[in-house]
Homo-oligomer: A and B are copies of this chain.
Amino acid sequence: MLGGEIVGSTGHLISGVESLDEADSSKLSFLGNKKYESQVAESKASIIIVPDGFSAEPADNQAFIKHKSPSDAFSMVFELFAPEAYRPEPGIAESAFVDESAQLGKDVHIGANAVIMANVELGNGCIVEAGSYVGPGVVMGKGCRLHPNVTVRENSIFADAVFIHSGTVIGCDGFGYIPGEDGHKKIPQLGIVQIDSNVEIGSNVSIDRARFGKTWIKEGTKIDNLVMIAHNVVIGKHCFIVAQVGIAGSAQIGDMSQLAGQAGISGHVQVGAESTIGGKTVVISDLPDKSVVCGYPAVPLKEYFRNQAALRKVPDLLRKVRDLEKRLDEKD
């Protein structure tokens, strides 16, 4: 059906699709990126779609489908397994407020009690669900979706197919003050947030507008829930930013990087492309491309766990050194 070559055992009953590392034997998965080749051998998926030239053999009770584009083949399978997720129909709810200056494309949905302010532009097929707020001058491309109760502040710019989940706030003022004897003076936050195509952002995320210029989330990046992204941050293409990560002002994250949960990036730090930042790590200085780090301050992942293991031996070490000192004293 997919037009590929089947290698290995056949007749698997598949209940859904899953990533290589999370799949069990009821799942189909695919190798979409060479970077993850090593995961194929360990994957429990019954069927894995691999690229034509892929040389390894499937395990027992496993099949590979060799395909010239695993990614395209996967999309076809995906369509089969995806039941109808809820998706509002085009139309504007009576209770929604839409400013008369707003420009709405074709087949747009505006949900109950949603608010579309002046000079907003929404591309074809955009969905703004119930209770969401789209501030003055916001511009969205085609097929964007705001789930219920999202807030997009004034002048934010979205490209196509940007998906934002509930409770998230885009374009809040950045945190900037000049301390003074008689109180801190607020630094005006006059920039915007720009979000490129195919970005998805989870729930209860905060992305601040820039002071000047833009806070920028580049194409294809995926952001989990409760993430904090400060003013003027730039996040590269196709990154994964996992839940509760915090990125301080003006930091830059390179393309294809992954930040695990609860990590923190200090202000102005530059993280190189294809880096992996461990959970709860704090990055306080620049990192080269392909860094894999953990801890506070961040060190290479292996070093982190070696250090933590060594730490557990320190109480014993203290005792040993006291013994050595005694023994040497006795020799003197």
Q: Which residues of A contact B (CB under 8 A)?
A: 15-20, 22, 29-30, 32-33, 35-36, 70-71, 74-75, 78, 81-83, 85-86, 93, 95, 97, 111-113, 115, 117, 129-131, 133, 135-137, 147-149, 151, 153-155, 165-169, 172-173, 175-190, 198, 200, 202-206, 208, 211-212, 219-220, 222, 224-226, 228, 230, 238, 240, 242-244, 246, 248-250, 261-262, 264, 266, 279-280, 282, 295-297, 299, 303, 305-308, 310-315, 317-318, 320-321, 324-325, 327-328, 331
* Contact status B211-A16, CB under 8 Å: yes
* Contact status B172-A166, CB under 8 Å: yes
* Contact status B86-A97, CB under 8 Å: no
* Contact status A130-B33, CB under 8 Å: no
User: What are the 5 closest A-B residue pairs judged by CB atoms, nearest first?
Assistant: A32-B180, A206-B225, A97-B112, A310-B314, A151-B166
Specify the chain B residue showing the minimal Cβ separation from A309.
B315
**Copies of this protein chain in the complex:** 3
Chain B residues with CB below 8 A from A133, complex form: 129-131, 148-149, 166
Chain B residues with CB below 8 A from A71, complex form: 180-182, 185
Mostly, the A contact residues are loop
* Contact status A296-B308, CB under 8 Å: yes
* Contact status B33-A180, CB under 8 Å: yes
Most buried by B among A93, A166, A173, A181: A166
* Contact status A78-B321, CB under 8 Å: no
Knowing that A169-B204, A175-B243, A177-B240 touch, tell me 19 more A-B residue pairs with CB under 8 angstroms. Answer: A19-B177, A83-B188, A95-B113, A97-B112, A113-B115, A129-B133, A130-B133, A149-B169, A151-B166, A165-B172, A184-B240, A204-B204, A206-B226, A208-B225, A226-B226, A307-B311, A313-B314, A320-B325, A321-B321
